[in-house]
Structure 1
Amino acid sequence: MRVWQSAFAPPGVELSPQSADLVLVFGSVDIFDSPGFATRLTAAYPDAIAVGCSTAGEIAGDSVLDGSCIATAIRFGKGTAVTATEAGIASADDSQRAGEALGDALTARPGLSGVLLFARGVGVNGSALIDGLSSRLPSGVPVSGGLAGDGGAFVRTLVLGPSGVSDGRAVAVGLYGDAVHLGLGSVGGWEPFGPARKVTKAVGNLLLQLDGEPALNVYKRYLGDYACDLPASGLLFPFELLNGNHDSVGLIRTILGIDETAGGLILAGTVEEGFYLRLMHASTDGLVDGAEQAGAIAAAASAGTMGNDTTDETAGDRLALLTSCVGRKLVMGDRVEEEVQAVADRMGPGTVLAGFYSYGEIGPMRDLVDCRLHNQTMTVALLTER
């Protein structure tokens, strides 16, 4: 397996064709939306499957970029195969069905070892999408990826798949064979505050009542001066999901919007009535520590699968795919690169880092293999070949 990375050249620059099996592309909405973008990618990587999404920031090496486009090319060794399939998501109500369709397509071929999933970041129920996909996959198949961003605007996000660029789609990459391996880690680093409050009314990802009171009223009361900046300030104060015993279940939910008429909060993923929610906040040091833990968990999960170190300084023999939340980026500000560097410190020589800041991360729940939609985490997928 060989991995290499480059900034995707602007229009008008002649591109030399390169041979690759898979190209992961993360960039700004403006670049994804530029005329001929997908066509130029095909010319640059004529034999490769090209997938990716728009972002709220791009990760390349140990740097965080904005307004760029980074292409990470992968050429697998013998025995590993890769496919890509896509499904339309016209609205959030289509999410479950889209996930099921992706899963059916991926399992039509035997030997599935891992899945990378990228989907629109607005107008989607990420939890339902992943539930639909997981319901069709064999037990134990790891899934990672994330929901697209648009620089924090939450208006229009884009996904790149086999049929080009779209604002209403999800794309899944299937990795096949005994040699390929995905080691996953997903950690937050946020701290809870305030009491746990019971979800007394919710419909999908619309949280309507906490302890019998309109959820928006409760949230505004706790935010104080930050309430006037909703929904943007919701990225700074997500919810931790608790079970009936008030124990954390390992999921965080970000507020993506508000419904003033219903007095509700629109969350990035679903919540169920009867569970409890507690507000969270974070410091930069706490988030960096969480990112380091995620890198360590992913590296440990891949122990024994790593190939020989490469001597080529521009390439590697394994890929660390980093998906972090835009809310973490807002909290850390100018120190945001510290969390990427913390992950890099946990990766072995020959590891190429790529990824993006998202509107939802896809990764495991604590020590379980089963994947869920996360918010406010650093999620790391370490891709290796035996």
Structure 2
Amino acid sequence: MRIFQQLITSKAQIEALSLTFVPDVIFLFASLKFEDIDKALTSIQQKYTQAIIIGGTTAGEIIDQQVIDDSIVLSAVKFNGTKVKLYGKDLPTDVSQYFEVGNKFVQDIDQEDLKHIFLISDVQTLHASNLLKGINHKLKSHISVTGGLAGRESYIGSNYIIDLGSLKRNRVIALAMYGDRLQVNYNAQGGWDSYGVECLVTKSEKNQILEIDGLPALDFYKSVVEPNILSDVKQLGFKHPIKVRNKDHSNPVIRALLDIDESNKSLIMAEEIPAGSYVRIMKANVDRLILGAENAAKTIAQQNKHEHELAILISCSGRRKVLGKLAKEEVEAVVQQFPSTTKSIGFYSYGEISPFFEKPKTSLHNLTMCVTTFSEL
């Protein structure tokens, strides 16, 4: 596997790009604030017409041990024996169809000798879970799926995927990777501290938790978290997400609190959380968050003997908000678990896609660091 990486902060750097090989794939994670972003992506596509160019917009870019804003990070890959093919599907406006869309999307993908799928979409977190459930439903159990949801710098505006070098919306794309030479490892960890006991969701409606242990959900939440969190939930609610355990999740997953509704005393979550789920309020501990990210990578690095040639790091925009200037330490903690020869690239997302370590079924995560490594035998 041959890899070329570049941090791009100006259009002049795009003009100066010069690869010594013809890449199979170019991963691009880009800020919407990059000058003339559409033209910049078109320029890259025109320079490397034979490559599959994919990625998405971000809430911050990652390259090596750096966290950057307003840039494009590029990783061009030439495989030695792995075959790749890109699949894509437009998403309907009717979000109730997303499970079926995921189901049909997988049926379009050739699964013979398929080893891994790297998935990118701009779908909202709330509906991405159903899309993934549809994908899992028809995907062979040994095929792993990792990836993420495109982000943006603020909640105002749109996020986009990069599909063959162009910005697109309302779409899901899958880079299918084939062959026995490809080695893929992945892990997902959060590092959040528990804050109270596990309780039962006794009433919910879509992504609103209405009652917990028979009490109004908002009253329950208020009884646990510090009062200032409720003054600005959209900005501070990330500090107290909710861990969810139910039949859909063999391992508990973290879910972000998006808002509250005082009228019905509900918690508005990033995903539908059905009645019968068990939930526990969590709290941010910066050291533990960084350690969680480090452990996600360490588990991969310690239990696999082969080289990790490329690492893709996808972390949540909410984690970056909580970590602030220490976000760079999260990335450093991950990258330092791998050999110095490992190339690392990634972005801050609106949702992370990964199975847990050595688990076959992929999950949608919030507020989690997900690491995927690639190498060839």
Return the TM-score normalized by structure 2: 0.90
The 5 A counterparts of 1:323-362 are 323-362=314-353
Instruction: Report the Cα offset of residue 143 of structure 1.
Output: 1.1
- Name the CA distance, whole Å, in 2 between partners of 1:53 and 1:276: 33
- The SS at the match of 2:158 is coil
Greater shift, 187-196 or 115-124, is seen at: 115-124
Residue type at the aligned position of 2:62: I
Equivalent in the alignment of 1:58:
61
The answer on whether the counterparts of 1:183 and 1:299 sit within 8 Å (CA) in structure 2 is: no
Query: What are the superposed Cα offsets for residues 243-264 of structure 1, whole Å, 9 maximum, x if unpaired?
Result: 59xx993311112344555543
The alignment status of 1:232 with 2:235, answered yes or no, reads yes
- Name the CA distance, whole Å, in 2 between partners of 1:349 and 1:157: 33
Residue type at the aligned position of 1:7: L
Residue type at the aligned position of 1:291: A
Structure 2: where are the runs of 5+ without partners?
none
Residue type at the aligned position of 2:88: E
Residues 124 and 169 (structure 1 numbering): CA distance in 2 closer, same or farther, change over 3 Å?
A: farther
Equivalent in the alignment of 2:39:
36
Query: What are the superposed Cα offsets for residues 118-166 of structure 1, whole Å, 9 maximum, x if unpaired?
Result: 1115365121121111112111211111111112426421111138312
2:30 is aligned, of 27, 30, 38, to 27
Equivalent in the alignment of 1:169:
171
Residue type at the aligned position of 1:318: E
Greater shift, 369-378 or 154-163, is seen at: 154-163
Equivalent in the alignment of 2:362:
371
Residues 248 and 260 (structure 1 numbering): CA distance in 2 closer, same or farther, change over 3 Å?
A: farther
Equivalent in the alignment of 2:6:
6
The 5 A counterparts of 1:311-326 are 318-326=309-317
The answer on whether the counterparts of 1:195 and 1:278 sit within 8 Å (CA) in structure 2 is: yes
Residues 251 and 15 (structure 1 numbering): CA distance in 2 closer, same or farther, change over 3 Å?
A: same
Equivalent in the alignment of 2:72:
69
- Name the CA distance, whole Å, in 2 between partners of 1:258 and 1:27: 32
Query: What are the superposed Cα offsets for residues 288-320 of structure 1, whole Å, 9 maximum, x if unpaired?
Result: 11111100122245x2442xxxxxxxxxx7110
- The SS at the match of 1:71 is strand
Residues 173 and 239 (structure 1 numbering): CA distance in 2 closer, same or farther, change over 3 Å?
A: same
- The SS at the match of 1:269 is coil
The answer on whether the counterparts of 1:121 and 1:359 sit within 8 Å (CA) in structure 2 is: no
Equivalent in the alignment of 1:265:
267
- Name the CA distance, whole Å, in 1 between partners of 2:239 and 2:84: 38
- Name the CA distance, whole Å, in 2 between partners of 1:231 and 1:138: 38
The answer on whether the counterparts of 2:195 and 2:282 sit within 8 Å (CA) in structure 1 is: yes
Residue type at the aligned position of 2:353: I
The answer on whether the counterparts of 1:86 and 1:162 sit within 8 Å (CA) in structure 2 is: no
Residues 257 and 81 (structure 1 numbering): CA distance in 2 closer, same or farther, change over 3 Å?
A: farther
Greater shift, 36-45 or 259-268, is seen at: 259-268
Query: What are the superposed Cα offsets for residues 194-218 of structure 1, whole Å, 9 maximum, x if unpaired?
Result: 2323212234433333233443443
The 5 A counterparts of 1:268-279 are 268-279=270-281
- The SS at the match of 1:35 is helix
- Name the CA distance, whole Å, in 2 between partners of 1:260 and 1:48: 51
Greater shift, 235-244 or 280-289, is seen at: 235-244
Instruction: Report the Cα offset of residue 113 of structure 1.
Output: 0.2
Equivalent in the alignment of 1:156:
158
Instruction: Report the Cα offset of residue 367 of structure 1.
Output: 4.8
Greater shift, 205-214 or 267-276, is seen at: 205-214
- Name the CA distance, whole Å, in 2 between partners of 1:279 and 1:123: 19
Greater shift, 271-280 or 33-42, is seen at: 33-42
Instruction: Report the Cα offset of residue 192 of structure 1.
Output: 0.7
The 5 A counterparts of 1:135-284 are 135-153=137-155, 155-162=157-164, 164-223=166-225, 224-242=227-245, 249-259=251-261, 262-284=264-286
- Name the CA distance, whole Å, in 2 between partners of 1:26 and 1:276: 35
- The SS at the match of 1:36 is helix
- Name the CA distance, whole Å, in 2 between partners of 1:261 and 1:161: 42
Return the TM-score normalized by structure 1: 0.88
- The SS at the match of 2:3 is strand
Greater shift, 60-69 or 366-375, is seen at: 366-375
Residue type at the aligned position of 1:5: Q
